[in-house]
Amino acid sequence: MGDFNATVSKRMSKKECNTIGEYGIGTRNEAGERLVEFCLENNLFVANTMFQNHRRRLYTWTHPDCSRHQIDYILAQNRWRSSIMGVRTLPGAD
């Protein structure tokens, strides 16, 4: 667990197909690159990028300028992929 302030976005290469899904938001930043590499090296996947949800169920932080970002993630080992049925965020949760 960590507070990476990362933006992983959505899958950007075939190498990431078991790590990052199609439903991330934002533009990947340097911290996001490090998080993706960490996941690849440790056989993890970013669960909240794997499931299609309404955009309001994807963002995890709102900037004071009202822009919304997905910077918090649920990481799980790939062996649990078939056990996870969905991931979403809830407004106002801390």
State the total domains in the chain: 1
Q: 19 near 36, Cβ under 8 Å?
A: yes
Does some domain include residue 41? yes
Q: 38 near 64, Cβ under 8 Å?
A: no
Does some domain include residue 5? no
Does some domain include residue 9? no
User: pTM for the full model?
Assistant: 0.84
Does some domain include residue 92? no
Per-residue pLDDT of the chain (94 residues; tens, 9 = 90+): 567 789 999 888 889 999 999 999 889 999 999 999 999 999 999 998 999 988 888 888 888 998 888 888 899 999 999 999 998 877 665 5
* Chain centroid, CA 48 distance in Å: 5
Domain range spanning residue 51? 14-81
